[in-house]
Amino acid sequence: QVQLVESGGGLVQAGGSLRLSCAASGNILSINAMRWYRQAPGKQRELVAVIASGGSTNYADSVKGRFTISRDNAKNTVFLQMNSLKPEDTAVYYCNSYGLTTRSRVFDSWGQGTQVTVSS
């Protein structure tokens, strides 16, 4: 079983920055893509950023140029640096990761979510 634990959310004024972290633990053999999603009240969950095992990245148009996703493969951790935050970035942020366990089983795990609130 693979667990993901997020941290780093909080309250920040518009224009400010936050850095989210998500650490994966358990019987991990390898991790493929790691993703950040967010869900605002009354809205569907949306993909914010993804980073592949080789380091290539993709971002939602709404966060391009402001957010940066990165990963530390040695620590099975993914980060989301969020700059120039806007009130519309307010949401619960979730990390997601999939890969193989040491028993060669595919895992697709989610974190519990961390609240990000941007005040105007």
Task: Average pLDDT across each block of 10 residues of the chain; the chain has 120 residues. List them in order.
Answer: 95 98 96 96 97 95 98 95 98 96 95 97
Give me the pLDDT at residue 18, please: 98
Nearest to 101 by CA among 17, 28, 34: 28
The neighbour count for residue 36, using CB atoms within 10 Å, is 26
Could you give the CA distance from residue 117 to residue 19 in angstroms, rounded to a whole number? 13
- The burial of 23, by beta-carbon neighbours within 10 Å (0-12 exposed, 13-18 middle, 19 or more buried), is given as middle
Give me the pLDDT at residue 9, please: 95
Per DSSP, helices labelled H in the chain are: none
Give me the pLDDT at residue 110, please: 97
Give me the pLDDT at residue 1, please: 87
